[in-house]
């Protein structure tokens, strides 16, 4: 028997009621205790969260004890015997299972996401107790946590983990959930740190479980993983009423995916997914200001206690151009004039000066495109995506209004690419003026940075430029650089994970085969494609992998303290079942599409089909959060079949939504598949650009003809 002190809208109460369980509910804990039958389970839930729940008096606890009630008290303003502080927010802390109370369904040291967690810290006097987990060598005993629930037999510290301090608790308090900054994907691989906050614990000698946060907001707060929270609440309910029928908690997440891995295939899935994506871009990404039309970057990974994600409103050039490309492709398919107008307005903005385009002929940065509005930072890969998006749109629209500026941008990047065909990852405006370098310093320097993350799409843009102009300067150094890269494969530097690097190499290799179809070039493309296909799962997902840590720019955190410090992969170690839609999957999708068209290889075409099916299935659906409906997030766990990951990246975590990079290229590739075209087609309309090129070459790179 359960008795609730909660509102009828509380996630837990509403769920059990929807499952046909009519349990009594009262507005105060006192009324719930008075009405509860002997030995019932009483739940006091925090309906004003993040404001604390009502204070609990000693008299209430004594009345509950007289009736042998079991209590779950959530987020109380005060509780006898405990010093509870003011509500505190979390930043990088995650919930960690700190005992075997939920085993075997949820093991000790399992990591949980309680998004937007507010908690009540306990008093200052730290009490040393053994960390509540039980790896090999520890003994599990049957304790007071209920039938089937055990406690840690206190025989010594966790090997190699030390002890964890829970301030303000008695030495024999049993902590089942803790809040701590920990590294790991599913498991806190370095254990609990010495300082952690108890989130769920039992008061000794009392049948009382106390939560210092709101655990019952697991549906509207989008807590994850779903199956872990299901098991946690089923066990908590079992502890409260051991003799009650087991409760099978089943709910539909407020943010879900389109379909499961075993759902029947939908012949119209790609068309529907593209339609939803374009709608999402139109309604939630495009903004207007003073006549300009741009794209917000997307939505941040952080999810607040109500399950909401905030906008990232940063006006980036790459995101705006890539979003405009989606509307251009939508116009090509639907002839919707609004899509063409939006695309035109957005390209006019992203190629305008002084917002994005560097238009001073006397500046060494002349022709480069700013990373963000009026931000003179120049990443080659971001410039490349502006170039590629503009070229395919100009081709589709048969409009030359951006030809001169995109050719200048190509030449501006070429003249800051070194003699070996590699460009520095990032050049800021002030770098040109250090020691009076100018652009020739970068044009002549001999560097070879081995990360396709920053190089590959600029090489692809140069290969298209060669097809358009016939200028050898675009292809000679590019082929040399690609050869260097392939000669060193797989011993590459890697950025956010290793898998993204070969995924991004597919595009320039496919273009190279289209330009020069030689056995060597086909061999390079085949080798990269084969390795990616070998990783592909039956569902179509391409798992993330990390390479040698010493070769990684952003390896997984190597301690609890380094979780959330810098950019990071979604996985902690190889074998974690995550795919990265931000850095890898979208580029693999485009690359496989182009590689299939370049080679006619049925294996590659079938892999592209499987990846398309996978992406259609995992497209986000949500009525509660319409700004996510039709989007794709960064991290997807293809075993759990939900968005999840080690959200250690300090800027683009597992649940981030990027308008450019991921969503735009997924949508664009779906559109190109529907239209039966290739990104390589962007170089098909060449005559009008060829006539302008000699003049621009003489201006941008004198004496180079």
DSSP letters, 371-415, are SBTTB-EEEHHHHHHHHHHHHHHHHHHT--TTHHHHHHHHHHHHT
Residue with token string 């006091």: 44
Rounded Cα–Cα distance for residues 75 and 114 (Å):
14
So what's the pLDDT on residue 450?
74
Query: If phi over 0 gives left and psi between -120 and 50 gives alpha, with beta otherwise, what is residue 564?
Result: left
Please provide the average confidence, as pLDDT, over all residues in the chain.
Answer: 93
CATH of domain 2-240: 3.40.50
Q: Which two tokens stand for residue 396?
A: 């589709």
Residue with token string 């139109």: 282
So what's the pLDDT on residue 21?
84
For residue 684, is pLDDT > 90? Answer: no
So what's the pLDDT on residue 705?
58
Task: Assign 685 a pLDDT band (cuts: 50, 70, 90).
Answer: low
Q: What is the largest CA-CA distance in the chain?
A: 95
So what's the pLDDT on residue 126?
34
Q: What percent of the chain has pLDDT over 90?
A: 89
The CATH class, in words, for 256-555+568-700 is mainly alpha
pLDDT digits (tens, 9 = 90+) for 575-621: 999 999 999 999 999 999 999 999 999 999 999 999 999 999 999 99
Residues 6 or more apart whose CB falls under 8 angstroms from that of 428 comprise: 376, 377, 378
For residue 147, is pLDDT > 60? Answer: no
So what's the pLDDT on residue 139?
27
So what's the pLDDT on residue 154?
29
For residue 258, is pLDDT > 60? Answer: yes
So what's the pLDDT on residue 449?
82
Question: In 248-313, where do the E strands start and end?
Answer: 256-257, 286-289, 292-295, 298-303, 309-312
Rounded Cα–Cα distance for residues 673 and 667 (Å):
10
- DSSP conformational letter for 540: S
Residues 6 or more apart whose CB falls under 8 angstroms from that of 250 comprise: 19, 230
Burial of 306 (0-12, 13-18, 19+ CB in 10 A): middle
Task: Look at residues 552, 591, 604 and name the one whose alpha carbon lies nearest to residue 459.
Answer: 591
The residue-averaged pLDDT of 503-512 equals 99
For residue 367, is pLDDT > 60? Answer: yes
Task: Assign 124 a pLDDT band (cuts: 50, 70, 90).
Answer: low
Query: Do 160 and 193 contact (CB within 8 A), yes or no?
Result: no
Range in 133-142, 178-187, 222-231, 402-411 the model is least confident about: 133-142
For residue 227, is pLDDT > 70? Answer: yes
The residue-averaged pLDDT of 179-184 equals 98
Element (H, E) at 166: strand 164-167
Helices (H) and strands (E) in the chain, counts: 18, 27
Rounded Cα–Cα distance for residues 564 and 183 (Å):
9
Query: Do 340 and 397 contact (CB within 8 A), yes or no?
Result: yes
For residue 155, is pLDDT > 50? Answer: no
Two domains, one topology: 2-240 and 256-555+568-700: no
Element (H, E) at 174: strand 174-180
The residue-averaged pLDDT of 247-271 equals 97
Domain ranges of the chain: 2-240, 256-555+568-700
pLDDT digits (tens, 9 = 90+) for 646-674: 999 999 999 999 999 999 999 999 999 99
Query: Do 646 and 576 contact (CB within 8 A), yes or no?
Result: yes
So what's the pLDDT on residue 159?
32
pLDDT digits (tens, 9 = 90+) for 384-401: 999 999 999 999 999 999
Sign of the CA dihedral 262, 580, 257, 576? positive
Query: Measured in Å, how far apart are the chain's first and last C-alpha atoms?
Result: 86
Rounded to the nearest 5°, which phi and psi values hold at 41?
-105, 130
Sign of the CA dihedral 218, 221, 223, 226? positive
- DSSP conformational letter for 211: E
So what's the pLDDT on residue 92?
96
Determine the Cα angle at 485 with ends 480 and 486, to 5°.
100
Q: Which residues of 522-560 are buried (b: 16+ CB within 10 A; e: fewer)?
A: bebbbebbeebbebbeebbbbbbbbbeeebbebbbbeeb
For residue 153, is pLDDT > 50? Answer: no
pLDDT digits (tens, 9 = 90+) for 318-357: 999 999 999 999 999 999 999 999 999 999 999 999 999 9
Burial of 171 (0-12, 13-18, 19+ CB in 10 A): exposed
pLDDT digits (tens, 9 = 90+) for 63-91: 999 999 999 999 999 999 999 999 999 99
pTM summary value: 0.94
């Amino acid at each position: 028997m359960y008795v609730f002190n909660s509102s009828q809208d509380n996630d837990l109460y509403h769920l059990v009621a929807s499952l046909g369980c009519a349990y009594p509910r009262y507005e105060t804990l006192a009324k719930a205790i008075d009405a509860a039958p002997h030995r019932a389970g009483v739940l006091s839930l925090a309906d004003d969260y993040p404001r604390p729940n009502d204070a609990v008096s000693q008299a209430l606890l004594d009345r509950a004890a007289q009736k042998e009630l079991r209590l779950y008290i959530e987020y109380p303003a005060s509780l006898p015997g405990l010093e509870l502080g003011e509500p505190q927010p979390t930043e990088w802390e995650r919930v960690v299972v700190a005992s075997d109370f939920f085993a075997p369904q949820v093991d000790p040291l399992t990591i949980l996401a309680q998004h937007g967690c507010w908690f009540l810290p306990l008093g200052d006097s730290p009490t040393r107790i053994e960390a509540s987990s039980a790896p090999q060598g520890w003994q599990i005993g049957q304790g007071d946590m209920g039938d089937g629930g055990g406690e840690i037999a206190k025989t010594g510290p966790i090997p190699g983990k030390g002890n964890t301090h829970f301030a303000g608790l008695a030495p024999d308090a049993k902590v089942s959930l803790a809040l701590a900054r920990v590294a790991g994907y599913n498991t806190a691989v370095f254990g609990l740190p010495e300082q952690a906050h108890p989130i769920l614990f039992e008061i000794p000698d009392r049948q009382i479980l106390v939560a210092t946060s709101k655990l019952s907001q697991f549906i509207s707060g989008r807590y994850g993983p779903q199956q872990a929270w299901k098991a946690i609440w089923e066990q908590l309910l079992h502890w409260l009423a051991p003799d009650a029928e087991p409760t099978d908690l089943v709910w539909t997440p407020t943010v879900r995916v389109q379909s499961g891995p075993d759902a029947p295939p939908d012949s119209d899935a790609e068309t529907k997914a593209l339609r939803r994506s374009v709608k999402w871009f139109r309604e939630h990404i495009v903004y207007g200001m003073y006549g300009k039309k741009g794209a917000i970057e997307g939505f941040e990974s952080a999810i607040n206690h109500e399950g909401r994600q905030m906008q990232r409103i940063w006006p980036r050039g790459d995101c705006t151009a890539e979003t405009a490309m989606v509307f251009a492709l939508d116009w090509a398919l639907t002839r919707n004039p609004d899509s063409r107008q939006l695309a035109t307005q957005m390209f006019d903005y992203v190629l305008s000066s002084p917002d994005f385009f560097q238009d001073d002929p006397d500046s060494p940065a002349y022709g480069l495109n700013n990373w963000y509005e009026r931000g003179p930072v120049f990443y080659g890969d971001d410039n490349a995506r502006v170039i590629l998006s503009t070229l395919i749109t100009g081709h589709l629209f048969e409009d030359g209004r951006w030809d001169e500026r995109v050719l200048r941008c190509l030449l501006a990047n070429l003249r800051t690419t070194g003699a070996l065909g590699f460009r520095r990852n990032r050049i800021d405006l002030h770098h040109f003026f250090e020691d009076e370098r100018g652009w020739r310093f970068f044009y002549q320097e001999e560097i070879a940075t081995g990360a396709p993350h920053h190089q590959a799409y600029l090489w692809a843009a140069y290969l298209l430029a060669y097809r358009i102009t016939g200028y050898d300067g675009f292809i000679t150094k590019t082929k040399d650089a690609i050869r260097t890269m392939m000669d060193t494969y797989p011993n590459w530097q890697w950025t956010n994970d290793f898998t993204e690097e070969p995924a991004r190499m597919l595009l320039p290799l496919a273009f190279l085969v289209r330009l020069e179809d030689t056995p060597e070039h086909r061999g390079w493309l085949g080798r990269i494609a084969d390795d990616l296909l070998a990783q592909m799962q039956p569902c179509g997902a391409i798992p993330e992998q990390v390479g040698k840590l010493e070769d990684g720019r952003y390896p997984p955190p190597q301690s609890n303290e380094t979780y959330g410090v810098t950019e990071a992969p979604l996985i902690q170690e190889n074998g974690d079942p995550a795919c990265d839609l931000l850095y890898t999957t979208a580029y693999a999708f485009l690359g496989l599409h182009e590689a299939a068209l370049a080679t006619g290889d049925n294996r590659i075409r079938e892999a592209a089909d499987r990846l398309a099916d996978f992406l259609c299935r995992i497209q986000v659906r949500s009525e509660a959060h319409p700004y996510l409906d039709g989007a794709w997030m960064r991290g997807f766990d293809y075993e759990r079949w939900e968005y999840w990951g080690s959200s250690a990246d300090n800027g683009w975590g597992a649940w981030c939504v990027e308008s450019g990079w991921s969503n735009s290229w997924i949508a664009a590739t779906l559109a190109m598949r529907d239209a039966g075209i290739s990104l390589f087609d962007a170089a098909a309309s060449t005559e009008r650009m060829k006539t302008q090129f000699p003049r621009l070459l003489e201006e941008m790179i004198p004496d180079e003809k």
